[in-house]
Chains A and B, each alone.
Chain A
Amino acid sequence: MGNGLIYVMAVNIVIWIGIAFYLFSLDRKIKKLEREMNDPSH
């Protein structure tokens, strides 16, 4: 494990967390939309 490599890894993890967070929020929004569509009383 070289010195610079730890930064590469850190940046990588941050990017992946960002992607995962974005996908999770998108998933939630879609779920909400689906619920609203199936139940028009909202």
Chain B
Amino acid sequence: MTDPMSEGSSRVNQQARVPQRSGGTPLELADDALIAAQRLSEWVARAPTLEEDVALTNIALDQLGVARLLLQSLGDEDELAYRRGDAEFRNCLLVELPFGRARGDLDFGWTVVWLLFLAAAQKLRYEAWDNEVAAKAVKESAYHLDHATQWVIRLGDGTSLSRERVQAAVEELWPYTHELTEGIRDDWLSIVEPVLKEATLVKPSHDTWRPSGGRSGRHTEHLSYVLAEMQALHRAHPGVQW
């Protein structure tokens, strides 16, 4: 199988695949943020409280804002967001997973664990990246990380039901954090482990299954559903504006 993003693809400019000091490329960071934004938007008007609804929506908008700035620096943002197929996306697998074990799940405890893992990694990658977009993104990631931290601690060290749910999320999502944190694993662990400890949560004892492939365009089936929803309008009405 040929890689649609390999040499000859004119969709992204040269910078897209230049690795940064943190090990990630601008396209990987952009796709992580874009797919995370689309996933988080599932919570709009469905969060447990009105206050949390606004908080999660703000975070989704932050992610979308960074994704747009990065994509604009790499080429035509609409072309890149709406016209690429799943094999052309470079996001890690974690961001495309549903908020629960199955497609269509929307588990709040699961979501805050997902956000904790993601925001800690994004903050480290943006910090290692010295430009204007990164400077804005670092502050936003710090807030996302804080928001997720507050909830993981409250739910982990909360009721037996809330603890059960976030513990399940930690176990199910942990394998995917290896791809997420490639090159920054130790720094990431130094952020995440103290939070899990304070939340009385435990890491999975088996840590040998480490799914990956997102960075080279081999995704789970979940990404296709995310893209179908995100791209349907643009594909039906190319260039549509409102």
Same complex for A and B? Answer: no
Q: Which residues of A contact B (CB under 8 A)?
A: none
Q: Which residues of B contact A (CB under 8 A)?
A: none
